[in-house]
Structure 1
Amino acid sequence: MTALLENPTARVKWLAAPSSTRWLEQANARPELVLIDHAHCERKAAGVALQLMFRYPSDEGLGALLSPLAREELEHFELVLQLLQRRGQALRPLQAPGYGATLTAAVRKGESARMLDSFLVAGLIEARSHERMALLAAHSPDAELRALYGELLASEARHFGLYWCLCEERFGREATAARLQELAAVEVEALTGVLDSEDQVRMHSVGVEPGA
């Protein structure tokens, strides 16, 4: 298992299209909104890992893998929260984009398809987060934000690598890759569009390169 997680990005291409320059421009224009949303995303990611543990209690080894992931997500939440506090920013509610709801709606209902889809959706969200944090780590005009996002990149890559490994071990590489391709298309569709206002920018707001 450890060897499989060392370089997950070399094993599989998760995203069907890259984020757009326009998304990056919007994120850099309203960094405080992306930071607040990022805190909510880390908290939700911890909840997803815990939810999957409780949904499949008889799956041997699942808890041992997802429990550390949930703890790490909460550690990331705390890092972002501390930065917000240093900047005098409150962790206020934000209207969520339709991204997560669209992906969740694509999860099939019956087992074991539900398990496969749930793992892949969680992995897709982690992969998109990793990609967008990498953009911010490289291009944010704020040095403190560049450092924060850069610090989180390696663990985000481990997270989507872990979800891939969970799928491959339980469903095989061929079935996992085929379903990932279908869900990756849904993910791109969820990010296709134009924001009405920069005030709506979020970590997972619309913004992918057309025809990529």
Structure 2
Amino acid sequence: MVTASSSAPTIKFLQSATSPAWVEQAIAHLDVILLDHSHCERKAAGVALNLMFRYPSNAKLVRTLTAIAQEELEHFEQVNQILERRGIALGPLSAPPYGATLSAQVRRAEPQRLLDSLLVSGLIEARSHERLGLLAEHCPEPDLARFYRALMASEARHYGAYWVLATTYFDRSDVNARLEELAAVESEVLATLHPEPRVHS
């Protein structure tokens, strides 16, 4: 049985740690988690590309997100190779409320839209970093555990990159205040375990 951590979450951005119940659910359904992981990597690449297309005159943003999109697509291919070896076909999965809830927090008027988009992306990457670490720690399959561990550094770089972009284009006090608001929503949506195993559920 997975036991709860006695320490507060140490991942920058996150206000709460993932529950042991999620870890148990994920480990019991690794094939579904892998399939959902494939979807997550594809969506993450798409988010980076969409931001590049929306803000093409922001040179630093374009450079940073080009690298992130490329890396997310590499991870997408790596997960798909694992799925193929396990005989798991690519296919649709119903989405938990996590992504839609966070997207709904993004304000539509600029420049707030850019700030919120960067911070929501950073929050998602931070949660991915945390959860891949938990999978690496608890996964009973050594090869898969090593794979998750190898991806952790990339996820940390990604949420750090979104943070740097936010503080490049916005005052740090405004970034911190908005991050606190969005992180509270992110934590709340994960407070109830989704009945279907997902990376962000």
* TM class by smaller structure: over 0.9
- 2:191 and 2:125 mapped to 1: Cα distance? 18
| Aligned residue in 1 for 2:44 | 45
- 2:89 and 2:58 mapped to 1: Cα distance? 39
- 2:15 and 2:29 mapped to 1: Cα distance? 26
- 1:61 and 1:129 mapped to 2: Cα distance? 24
| Aligned residue in 1 for 2:198 | 202
Shift of 1:27: 0.2
| Aligned residue in 1 for 2:164 | 165
- 15-24 vs 58-67, which deviates more? 58-67
Shift of 1:13: 2.5
Structure 1 runs of 4+ off > 2 angstroms?
none
| Aligned residue in 2 for 1:25 | 24
| Aligned residue in 2 for 1:66 | 65
Shift of 1:88: 0.7
Shift of 1:135: 0.3
Shift of 1:195: 3.5
- 2:25 and 2:161 mapped to 1: Cα distance? 30
- 2:179 and 2:31 mapped to 1: Cα distance? 32
Question: Which residue identity lines up with residue 72 of structure 1 in the other structure?
Answer: E
Aligned residues: 193
> What is the 5 A alignment of 1:111-150?
111-150=110-149
Shift of 1:157: 0.3
Shift of 1:203: 0.1
- 57-66 vs 78-87, which deviates more? 57-66
Name the SS for the 1:111 alignment partner.
coil
- 2:99 and 2:120 mapped to 1: Cα distance? 9
Name the structure, 1 or 2, with higher relative contact order (CA <8 Å, separation 6+): 1
TM-score (norm. length: structure 2): 0.93
Which segments of 5 or more consecutive residues in structure 1 lack a partner in the other structure?
Answer: 1-9, 206-212
Residues 96 and 194 of structure 2 are in contact (CA less than 8 Å); yes or no, is this contact kept in structure 1?
no
> What is the 5 A alignment of 1:4-19?
13-19=12-18
- 2:15 and 2:144 mapped to 1: Cα distance? 27
Q: CA RMSD in A?
A: 1.4
Which segments of 5 or more consecutive residues in structure 2 lack a partner in the other structure?
Answer: 1-9
Question: Which residue identity lines up with residue 81 of structure 1 in the other structure?
Answer: N
Name the SS for the 2:103 alignment partner.
helix
Shift of 1:92: 1.3
**Seq. identity, %:** 57
- 1:88 and 1:134 mapped to 2: Cα distance? 25
- 1:194 and 1:67 mapped to 2: Cα distance? 34
